[in-house]
Each structure stands twice: as structure tokens, then as C-alpha cells.
Structure 1
Amino acid sequence: MNFDEVLSKIGGFGKFQKLLYVWICVPQIFLAFHMLVSVFTGAVPPHLCRSTLPSAGTPSTLNFSLLSSPDGLPELSCTKALNHSDAAAPGDGHLTMSCQEGWEYSTETFQSTIVTEWNLVCSNASLNNLGSSIYMSGLLVGALLFGYLADKYGRRIIILISLAIQATFGVAAAFAPNFYIYTALRFMVGTSISGVIMNAFVLGTEWTGLRQRMLAGIITDYFFGFGYIILAGVAYLIRDWRKLQLAISAPGFLFFIYIWVLPKSARWLMANDRNEEAWEVILKAAEMNGKPISKDLEMCQVYQTEDKTALKKKHSLFDLVRTPTMRKQSLIVFYLWFVNVLVYYGLSLNISDFGMNIYLTQMIFGLVEMPARTITLFTLNRSRKFSQLAFLTVGGSACLLTTCIPSDLSIVRTVLAMIGKFGITASLSIIYVYSAEVFPTVIRQNGIGIGSMCARIGGVLAPMMYLLRNINPHAPMVLSGLCPLLGAGLTLMLPETANKPLPDTIKDVEGEILSDEEDSVKTAILDLRNVTMDSHRTD
């Protein structure tokens, strides 16, 4: 009897599992806070070079509408006039020089952001995007580090450590004396996000029965969406970036109660020869689910025997690209991971570009997550392939269409961006399931691990993508449209996996190719045998 059979006896999704999902879903709300708070803390309010302003001007009385030129590019925000009136615009033909006396910022929307405090505008504007990319690189480091440590020391302890890091460094970021220390602290928060996301999902999955795993995985996504929406309200009420950073981080210390309520993974304990501990937790789960069982240690030994037998044959990362069909499918899946996360965070972190109220846009984008994740529950059972292709096409096409809409039609642009976000969010939910079914059992964990790394690379590049605005204002959205459409085309080359048995070996994936090779070998053997028999007859 393996662990899945044990789960079927004690209940695959009983009271024990439901309570466990409460514990692992609540932190998802705070993960969304930390992932998306830079939309508000790193926002760039309208600003004017002090030298271009009347001496009597104050932030509350200044006319920040002077900022925009006919083509929508800032003119008075980064330069000052050297002759004629102080308010003369560079476009009038006056000599100009860079602003050296600081800036005045509009306080209509934000009391303060990291941009207004450390003047991350004009020549320093790229530092803001770089800071977001460094934060995202923390997720990549955390995925590599905490994934390895969780396999070695267990899911529960790594979740606890990650939650502690998140709260400690998140609060410290609210008191950062300069941008560079702030970025370093946010990097540490990023590493902890990966530690919580990965291991909370794995812990829940390892305790959930086969039939409920897909639904249980979607539940955690819903709570991330709730955090997305709630953040809009919290940021609306708290307009100072330091207070906002403190408000989303300090409650993290309440998770210290997880030391007593968060269970260990019995599956992991069994796989590491800690059978006594595993059965203590299993018996507790069985009792809570109302299905008590006797303590039969022989079941643990059988599980371990099967587990060690399965591990005898080792496979490496090279097996992902060694054979032609496996190589084609692996590269396509890796690209889909990359492009989904690139566009998802590209849209999520740059909602101010669509021209509507930033708080309302944040809430709308959060609300879109709910139907996007729900609809996949109905489409996935029909077709993994068509679902992935359709949602990538919807997301990419909507993003491309935003470039055709004039900037003064902000509502239309936001609606199109919302449709793009809907498609990409649904596509991102599907790739988790689809990739697990494309890779065969012997290299499934390696495949998903590399796919996750590609996703993190997409997250790192997402904030930097908007530096392309310096080349062309529409460049980021063009890229956000073309990349998913390319992914939709590549999806046509993937197999359909819905309602089909999972491949266990690379030979299952290669199918006809290996069969043809085997037929060729058999034909050669038969030809050799016939030649031999003919020679014997001749003799």
C-alpha cells in the first residue's frame, strides 16, 4: 500500500485537509500584497523641475497638466529653460539643461512613494524598474534555494522560516534609509515568497487525494486573487509608502502560531525513513476525518520499498532534450512558462500606463483573476491543448489591440488590458497542469523545475520590459501581444493530454519514433537471419 492508498482510507479531502488549506491559503493574501505593492510604493506621480516653476508655486497649487506635450512625452519634468520665462517649455525653441535643483511632485494621488523620496525620475528612472527586477530575481534564488532545502529538511520547516523572513525583512524595508538598502531588503522578501508559494502548494498537494488535487490547487490561486483586490483598498487608505509597506508586512508576525498548527508532510517523512513521525500525523488526520485506522507500520515499509525501487534508475536534465520529440515538447513548455509570467507581471506591475485611476484599475485586474481561474475548471477537462492555445490567443490579441487605441480613450484601453489579463491569467493556471502531463514520470520533476526557472526569468524581465518605452511608447504592449501569440502557435505542436494516461517513460513520449527504430532493428535482424538460412541451404 502506497501513500495515495493510505489517503483513500483516511479521507483524501476531509476535515484535516480542509483545515490545512485554511492555513496554507491565508498567507497567499500577503504574498499578493508583497508581489504587487510596488504598483503603489514605486508609482511615479506627475512631477516638474523646480527651476521651471514660479517661486511662489507649491505642490498643491502647481498646474501639473503642463507635463504632457502633444505626443504624450514629458517635457518640463526633466529639463529647465535657460532663457525667457521660467515656465517656458523646451519645445518652444529655448535652450535647456537638465534639472539640478530637484523636483516638485503632485500629491493628488500619493503622499509619498519611493520615487518621490529618492527622486527616481528622469536619469534615475531606470533604477525603479531595476529594483523591481532585483525583487523578482529574489524569487528565482528562493525557488532554487528553498526547493532544495525543502526536499532535504521538509516542507513545514521551510514554510515557517520563509514566513519569518518575509515578515522581518518586509518590516525592515519600511524603515530603509536609502534605495539600495530598500532593494536589498525587498530581494530577501522575494526569496521568502518562493519558499512559501512552492512549499505550501506541495504540502497541500501531498495531503490531498488524487480526485481533489486540481480543485485544491485552484483554491490557493483564488486567495492570491483576494489579496490582489484587497491591496487596492489598503493602498487607497494608506497613501504613504512607508506606512503601506509596514501595513502589509507587520501582520506576518501573526503566522508564528503556525509552529503549533501547521502539520508536517507524512509523505515526505515516509520517503525519508521517518515512519514513526509519519504515522503520528496520519493517525491524527484519520481521527480528525472520522476514519480512524490501526497503526500498521508494515504499510510504511511497503511504501518505502516501492519508493526506493522507483529511484534506482536515475535520469538527468539532459533527458529533457536528448530525444527529438521530448526536446521539442520541453522547449515549447519552457517558453510557455516564460511568456505567461512575463506578460502576467508585465500587465500587473504597470497598470498606471492605461490612464485610469490606479486604485480602480488594480481592483478590476484583481477581480478578473476570479473568473479567469474558474473557467479553466470547465475547459481543462475538455482539452488542455485547445484551452492553452485559446487563452494565449485572447491575451495576446487584446494586448496588441491596446496599441491601436488613442491615449484619451483610457476606459477602452483598460478594458482591452483587462481582457488581456484574463487570457494570460487563465493560461498561467493551465500551464501548471499541462506541463505536469506533458513530461513523463521519470523526468516530470526536472521538467517542472526548469519550467519554474524560466517563469522566474520572465518575472525578472517583466519590469525591465517597460524601459522599451524610451524606444517606442507602444513597444511593451506590442511585446506583450506578440509573445503570447507565438506561444499559441507553438502550442499546436504539443500533444493533447486530457483524459489520457500520463506518460511514465521517455519511450512513451517518443512513441512512433522509437517504434520505427525498433522496427528497423527487427527488420535488420530478420534480413540477417534469412541470409544465414539461405547460406545454410546453399551449403
Structure 2
Amino acid sequence: MHFDEILHIIGGFGKFQKLLYVWICLPQIFLAFHMFVSIFSGAVPPHLCRSESSGSLNFSLLPSPELSCPARANHSDAGGPAVRCRGGWEYSTETYQSTIVTEWDLVCDKASLNYVGSSIYMLGLLVGALLFGTLADKYGRRNIILVSLAIQAVFGVGAAFAPNFYVYTALRFMVGTSISGVIMNAFVLGTEWTGPKQRMLAGIITDYWFGLGYILLAGLAYLVRDWRTLQLAISAPGFLFIFYVLVLPKSARWLLSNNRKEEAWEVIRRAAQMNRKPFTQDLEMCQQVYKAEEESEVKTKHSMVDLVRTPRMRRQSLIVFYLWFVNILVYYGLSLNIAALGMNIYVTQLVFGLVEMPARTITLFTLNHSRKFSQLAFLLVGGSACLLTIFVPGDRSMVKTSLAMVGKFGITASLSIIYVYSAEVFPTVIRQNGIGMGSMFARLGGVLAPMMHFLRFLSPQAPMMLCGVLPLLGAALTLLLPETANKPLPDSIQDIEGHRCSDEDGVNTTFFKACLRKSDCSSNVHRDTSKPSA
């Protein structure tokens, strides 16, 4: 756990880290664009089957798009014959100029393709979580961020020119993989450069910018009603991130863990200078002590198996994976349920974005006190609110909607916390593997969330009951996790299993005791055992 002490010397959240967060946050806007653009590009406008005798088409007679399908309605209801539509489809242009549905006729007998496309995109996020989590531990956070941003721009723009639905779906799958690569590694890079006191900012600040993208998409989609132009508008600016090759720093913590000490100390020097913390002779002496200690350790290669190899690490990993799964499952499950309110789609998108802001804001006031009980409390709020909806009579829709919104508030806050909590539970040597596996379970929850709709065939209350019980179980399991607030990040599995001791304020003293024995460098460094200030 040496690197947190180095951060204490060079500044845990100085100018270097603040500039780093600018680079981390900017892509979050475009990640939100790609995540939610299908709400508009895959929208199903009112439609009618053309026929030689149909005359003028009156879309206002259709209460819902489903009634347009001949297989589901009679001639008098649908405006078309009770057989497969042979004359093609006519779509209302009142809300959308064009969508992938209107261009490729993804309605009625082809409507399932639209949902399959969305599932394949979510599968891309799952694959990306697995692939880029492993590659980042091997090749570094910075390299994978750069590769993911390039994939996102190239395949995102390519999707705007897709000749058919199948090519479009394949390109969107690739965009999905890149989303996971950027989200995970940008978050971890920020976390590994931030001191214990301010580490929660790695998750919360980036979430704000993701929420900003959520809101901005509503306005952008309102102005751009053609799906190809909209896809191009959210993708082409991604090429501007090519300058990240020059400005995005490497993770010194990762470099040290991978025995690339010279590169690591070069970046540390730059960070110290930018934070106006001169790289003094004291710190240089500590650097030599650090090198000597590291060289005496046996270097071991780690894999995902290490997440469950030892008892405490296994328990913590499985609980965190469950929390990822539950948060995403309920988050998307509630979002789909609230969408049934029947509001204007652009207003709905805006409201969904605005609701998330206070949920993320409140975590700023709770996380510094406790990661563990913040996670537990918001899971309790989200789960309890969802569970209460099943006791509300069907004619009290406003009460049900209000409870559902409280549930979404709690789950959104919990989702923000799990990003921070996960990075602090897993040690450096397998942190990216842990985040990658957690993200994989999260994406599995995202894939299953739309299927919660089918539980209504068992009971109308079943979906909300599931959204209530699963978070409450997660809250109980959170009690078994360690408290990580204002504690140094663990660097090895031995740190998790308790084979290294720490002083009572949570900062490992081994490094500085070595400095004290071998030099006078600790006379100016952390001789005071008080917690670092914000």
C-alpha cells in the first residue's frame, strides 16, 4: 500500500489530478449519447399498412403502434388487411423524420429485430467489460482508453452509413464494447491517481458528466429528427479525442505494480511539479527505499482466478459482483417501467436525466463518512420504495409513480457508489480484473432487465417485487464488506487477507518506517499521523 503515501507527498488532488479529471469527464458525455441514442433512433412511430384502397392515412386514429399490425387487429382497427402487409408501411412523421424502424420496416413481424438489436448492443458492453478489463491489467489503463475511444469514433460513424439493419447492429455491437473500455478504465485511472480523502470523486464527478450527456441528448434528438444525422452528430466529435495521446497520463500505480519503475517515477515527478510539490531529496531517498523493497518482493502474475482464490477476497468479490448485477438490473427495470407513463419522449428523457442529479449529489455528502453504509442505505431506500408499490391500489397511479421515482433515486445513488466502492475493495494487482468482472455482471443485469416485463404474466406485482427484494438482499450482504472510506488502496491480495498491518488511521506505515531507518526523509513526510485534509 505504498502508493497512497507517495500521493500524500506529491498531492492527492492537486492541479495534476484536476486536469486528469477534465480528460476523464469529457468522454462521459458521448458515452451517454451512445448508451441512450437507441431511444430515439430505434423509436417506433405510428404506422399503417398501405393498400390501394386506403386513401388518405389518418394516424390519429391509432391509440398505439401495436394496433397497426394486421396479426393483432382487425381490418377496421388497423387500417389494413388481416394478412401480411404487402403494400409496405406508411409512418407518421409528426415526431420523427426517420428511425431505423421506418427505414428498414422493423414493425409487426419484424419488430423483434429491433429488440434483438438492443440486446446485441448490450452484449457488446458485456464483451467489452470482459475483454478490456483483462487487457487493461496487461497493457495499462491509458492504452485501453485510447483504443476504446478510437473504436467508438470509427464504428459509431460507420453505423450512420450502415446499408442494412444487420451491418448497423454489428457496428453498434463494436461501439458497445468500446463503451465498457472507456467507462471502466477512465474511472480506474482517476481512482489510482487520487488520494484516499478525495477518491470518491473518481466515480461521482464522472457520473455527473454522464448525467449531463443524458440530458443533452434530449435536446440534440429534439433538434435532429433523422436517425443517421443524429448518429453522426454523436459519433464524429469522437475523433477530436485523438489529442488524448498527448495529454492523458499513465497510471503510476499500475506501472509500479508491473515493475516499470522508471516510467512510474517519471510520471510521479511530473505530477509533483504540476502540484507544486518539488521532487525533493527526501522524496528521492524514499524512491530508492521503495525500489529496494519492491525488488526484494517476488513478482507474481495475476488472473481472474485470484478474485476467488483466497477466502476474504472470494467473499468480497462475489458480494461486489452481486451488487453490480442488482444495481443495473433494477436501474434499467425501473427506467422501462417509468417510461410507461406516456409522457412526451423528449420530456421523459430530460426528466430521467434530471432525477439522477440529486441522487448523485447526495452521495457527495455520505461517501466521505462511509462507503459501506452509504451503499447499504441507498439499497434500502431503493428496494423498500419498490416493494411498497405492490401494496398500492391500481387506481393510485400517482402514488405508485412517486414510489417508483424514489426507488430510482435510491438505485441511482447506489449505482454511483458501487463504482467507487469496487475500486477500493479490489487490490491494484487485480483491480481491473475485478472491475471488469463486476461490469460483466452489471451488463448481464442490463440484458435481463427488459425480460422483467414477462414476469407480469405471472403476477402484475412480480417485476416491482423483484426490484424490491433483490436490493434489500444486497443491503444485507453489504454488511459483510469492509469499510474503505479514507483508507489507502490495497495493492496486493496480501493486503486484503490481512498479511500487512496498518496504523490506526488506515495508512500503511511499513514504507515510512523503512525510510525512517535508512534516511531522514520521513522527517518531513507523514511524521504526523493525522488524516490528510481535503
Range class of TM-score, shorter chain? 0.7 to 0.9
Alpha carbons of structure 1 residues 183 and 451: separation in structure 2 relative to 1, 3 Å:
same
5 Å-filtered alignment, 1:292-311, equals 292-294=278-280, 299-307=286-294
Q: C-alpha displacement at 1:120, in angstroms?
A: 1.6
Structure-1-length-normalised TM-score? 0.79
Provide, for residues 418-441 of structure 1, a one-character-per-residue CA deviation record: whole Å limited to 9, x for no partner.
Answer: 333212111112223445566688
- Alignment-derived partner of residue 469 in structure 2: 485
5 Å-filtered alignment, 1:385-396, equals 385-396=372-383
Check whether the contact 1:338–1:456 (CA below 8 A) recurs between aligned residues: yes
After superposing the two structures, state which structure 1 stretch, 487-496 or 199-208, moved more.
487-496
Provide the C-alpha distance between the structure 1 equivalents of 2:327 and 2:201, rounded to a whole number of angstroms. 21
Provide the C-alpha distance between the structure 2 equivalents of 1:140 and 1:174, rounded to a whole number of angstroms. 23
Provide, for residues 130-171 of structure 1, a one-character-per-residue CA deviation record: whole Å limited to 9, x for no partner.
Answer: 211211111222222222222222222221221111111101
- Alignment-derived partner of residue 120 in structure 1: 106
Provide the C-alpha distance between the structure 1 equivalents of 2:92 and 2:389, rounded to a whole number of angstroms. 27
**Counterpart of 2:11 in structure 1: which amino acid?**
G
- Alignment-derived partner of residue 530 in structure 1: none
- Alignment-derived partner of residue 346 in structure 2: 359
- Alignment-derived partner of residue 159 in structure 1: 145
Structure 1: segments with no counterpart, 5+ residues: 69-73, 510-539
Alpha carbons of structure 1 residues 480 and 223: separation in structure 2 relative to 1, 3 Å:
farther
2:39 paired with 1:75: no
Check whether the contact 2:34–2:234 (CA below 8 A) recurs between aligned residues: yes
Alpha carbons of structure 1 residues 315 and 258: separation in structure 2 relative to 1, 3 Å:
closer
Provide the C-alpha distance between the structure 2 equivalents of 1:264 and 1:277, rounded to a whole number of angstroms. 9
Check whether the contact 1:160–1:258 (CA below 8 A) recurs between aligned residues: yes
Provide, for residues 207-255 of structure 1, a one-character-per-residue CA deviation record: whole Å limited to 9, x for no partner.
Answer: 2222211123311111111111111111111111111111111111111
- Alignment-derived partner of residue 126 in structure 2: 140
1:208 counterpart SS class: coil
**Counterpart of 1:15 in structure 2: which amino acid?**
K
Provide, for residues 299-321 of structure 1, a one-character-per-residue CA deviation record: whole Å limited to 9, x for no partner.
Answer: 44543454566665788756766
- Alignment-derived partner of residue 31 in structure 2: 31
- Alignment-derived partner of residue 531 in structure 1: none
After superposing the two structures, state which structure 1 stretch, 400-409 or 376-385, moved more.
400-409
Alpha carbons of structure 1 residues 401 and 111: separation in structure 2 relative to 1, 3 Å:
farther
2:238 paired with 1:227: no
Provide, for residues 190-222 of structure 1, a one-character-per-residue CA deviation record: whole Å limited to 9, x for no partner.
Answer: 111111112211221222222211123311111
**Counterpart of 1:164 in structure 2: which amino acid?**
A
Q: C-alpha displacement at 1:361, in angstroms?
A: 1.1
**Counterpart of 2:181 in structure 1: which amino acid?**
G
Check whether the contact 1:138–1:190 (CA below 8 A) recurs between aligned residues: yes
After superposing the two structures, state which structure 1 stretch, 289-298 or 147-156, moved more.
289-298
Check whether the contact 2:148–2:179 (CA below 8 A) recurs between aligned residues: yes
Provide, for residues 342-385 of structure 1, a one-character-per-residue CA deviation record: whole Å limited to 9, x for no partner.
Answer: 22234446764321111111111111111111212333455555
2:418 paired with 1:431: yes
Provide the C-alpha distance between the structure 1 equivalents of 2:424 and 2:270, rounded to a whole number of angstroms. 32
Relative contact order, higher structure (CA 8 A, sep 6+): 2
After superposing the two structures, state which structure 1 stretch, 373-382 or 105-114, moved more.
373-382
Alpha carbons of structure 1 residues 167 and 430: separation in structure 2 relative to 1, 3 Å:
same
After superposing the two structures, state which structure 1 stretch, 300-309 or 9-18, moved more.
300-309
Structure 2: segments with no counterpart, 5+ residues: 500-534
Provide the C-alpha distance between the structure 1 equivalents of 2:395 and 2:53, rounded to a whole number of angstroms. 29
Check whether the contact 1:270–1:304 (CA below 8 A) recurs between aligned residues: no
- Alignment-derived partner of residue 63 in structure 1: 60
Alpha carbons of structure 1 residues 305 and 450: separation in structure 2 relative to 1, 3 Å:
farther
Larger radius of gyration: 1
1:495 to 480, 484, 505: 480
After superposing the two structures, state which structure 1 stretch, 144-153 or 156-165, moved more.
144-153
- Alignment-derived partner of residue 108 in structure 1: 94
Provide the C-alpha distance between the structure 2 equivalents of 1:98 and 1:406, rounded to a whole number of angstroms. 40
Check whether the contact 2:308–2:314 (CA below 8 A) recurs between aligned residues: yes
Alpha carbons of structure 1 residues 66 and 435: separation in structure 2 relative to 1, 3 Å:
closer
2:368 paired with 1:368: no
Provide the C-alpha distance between the structure 2 equivalents of 1:401 and 1:121, rounded to a whole number of angstroms. 36
Check whether the contact 2:49–2:85 (CA below 8 A) recurs between aligned residues: yes
Q: Aligned Cα RMSD in Å?
A: 3.7
Check whether the contact 1:326–1:506 (CA below 8 A) recurs between aligned residues: yes
Structure-2-length-normalised TM-score? 0.80
Provide the C-alpha distance between the structure 2 equivalents of 1:42 and 1:266, rounded to a whole number of angstroms. 42
When the two structures are aligned, how many residues end up with a matched partner? 492
Provide the C-alpha distance between the structure 1 equivalents of 2:398 and 2:196, rounded to a whole number of angstroms. 44
1:195 to 181, 189, 196: 181
Provide, for residues 279-300 of structure 1, a one-character-per-residue CA deviation record: whole Å limited to 9, x for no partner.
Answer: 3332222222222214776644
1:87 counterpart SS class: helix
Check whether the contact 1:380–1:387 (CA below 8 A) recurs between aligned residues: yes
Provide the C-alpha distance between the structure 2 equivalents of 1:442 and 1:169, rounded to a whole number of angstroms. 32
Provide the C-alpha distance between the structure 1 equivalents of 2:236 and 2:395, rounded to a whole number of angstroms. 40
Alpha carbons of structure 1 residues 34 and 393: separation in structure 2 relative to 1, 3 Å:
same
1:176 counterpart SS class: coil
**Counterpart of 1:148 in structure 2: which amino acid?**
T
Check whether the contact 1:390–1:488 (CA below 8 A) recurs between aligned residues: no
Check whether the contact 1:392–1:487 (CA below 8 A) recurs between aligned residues: yes
Provide the C-alpha distance between the structure 2 equivalents of 1:418 and 1:255, rounded to a whole number of angstroms. 36
1:75 counterpart SS class: helix
Provide the C-alpha distance between the structure 2 equivalents of 1:16 and 1:327, rounded to a whole number of angstroms. 35
Provide the C-alpha distance between the structure 1 equivalents of 2:415 and 2:154, rounded to a whole number of angstroms. 30
After superposing the two structures, state which structure 1 stretch, 243-252 or 301-310, moved more.
301-310
1:337 to 280, 304, 324: 324
Provide the C-alpha distance between the structure 2 equivalents of 1:402 and 1:124, rounded to a whole number of angstroms. 34
Alpha carbons of structure 1 residues 66 and 344: separation in structure 2 relative to 1, 3 Å:
closer
Alpha carbons of structure 1 residues 360 and 217: separation in structure 2 relative to 1, 3 Å:
same
Provide the C-alpha distance between the structure 2 equivalents of 1:311 and 1:373, rounded to a whole number of angstroms. 42
* Percent of aligned pairs with the same amino acid: 70
- Alignment-derived partner of residue 9 in structure 1: 9
Provide the C-alpha distance between the structure 2 equivalents of 1:313 and 1:442, rounded to a whole number of angstroms. 9
Check whether the contact 2:379–2:471 (CA below 8 A) recurs between aligned residues: yes
1:419 to 406, 431, 447: 406
After superposing the two structures, state which structure 1 stretch, 9-18 or 327-336, moved more.
327-336
Provide, for residues 465-503 of structure 1, a one-character-per-residue CA deviation record: whole Å limited to 9, x for no partner.
Answer: 45x28x64986x843541442331343243364478799
Alpha carbons of structure 1 residues 267 and 438: separation in structure 2 relative to 1, 3 Å:
closer
